[in-house]
Structure 1
Amino acid sequence: MSTLQEVGERASWRCWLCDEPVDPDMSVNDPRGPSIDSVLTAKKAKAKGGVERLAHRACNTKKGAVKPVVPWPDKLFVVDPAPIIGVVEQLSRKGGRVAVARCPEKSDAQQASEWLLDRLSRLAPDLRVESRIDAAGGAFLLVLYTP
């Protein structure tokens, strides 16, 4: 088990859920204070291992024992966005390609692609992923794939 300092430095002091900065000097009892979110998958439970990620105390508490949701920002114009955590899990497990959103304009898809690749670089730093924008029936499909 890592210390809060080690987990925080690994995460560059950013909450893995909301992607906002976490103040390392704030009290761990404050809702915006740092906490460690431990993820234990069934496979890793057998090995007694897990993943430790930095989260605000409130983000970690809000998530509870349910599957976390990393939201798409309101500033992006995306239709039918895929759940980001599910996409990361699928690409980590199987690789391949996943259509993650439809956008009405190519520029919307490009903005969404830039945001998503940047967000995934912090959410799943070990996952190598690229994006592609495909024209699809009068809209543009944002696709993530593992090279």
Structure 2
Amino acid sequence: MVGPTLVLVRHEELSGVHLDGLRRMFDGEYARDFGDWDPEQPYGYAPHDIYVIARDHRGIVGHVGWARRTIVVGARHVVIAGVGGVIVAGRARGSRLGSILMDVTAGSIADAYQQFLVTRRTWLESENRRLGPNRGEGDLGEQQL
């Protein structure tokens, strides 16, 4: 038997087919206790930047979502990845799909973080060039990321 196919889908690319499959999976797990799946409820849906979705020949069998979030630590704002909506359909349990989904999720977060660092470094370098050698109090210098 071939394992499920995993895809990464950006929020803006989420289709009706994806949402219908997620609704069926979440309802199969939670409808008895919580009623029909409601995208506004925290037990299965919060807007994510990236959805990691596992499909087999019968439909969606797993999901993890993550989004860039900003939290305040002391006086600093820190960018983190908030992970949620972790679910594996009953028919796929015991296959290590949850671990695979989390590994793919971690990899996509790491890739996004690397892109963020490149973008940030490019911006800092251009600002330092723009400000020139006499930056004074507003020195962007080397900032810890």
Same fold (TM over 0.5): no
- Give the alignment's TM-score, normalised by structure 2: 0.25
Structure number with the higher strand fraction is: 2
- Give the alignment's TM-score, normalised by structure 1: 0.25
Q: Which structure's CA Rg is the greater one? A: 2
Structure number with the higher helix fraction is: 2
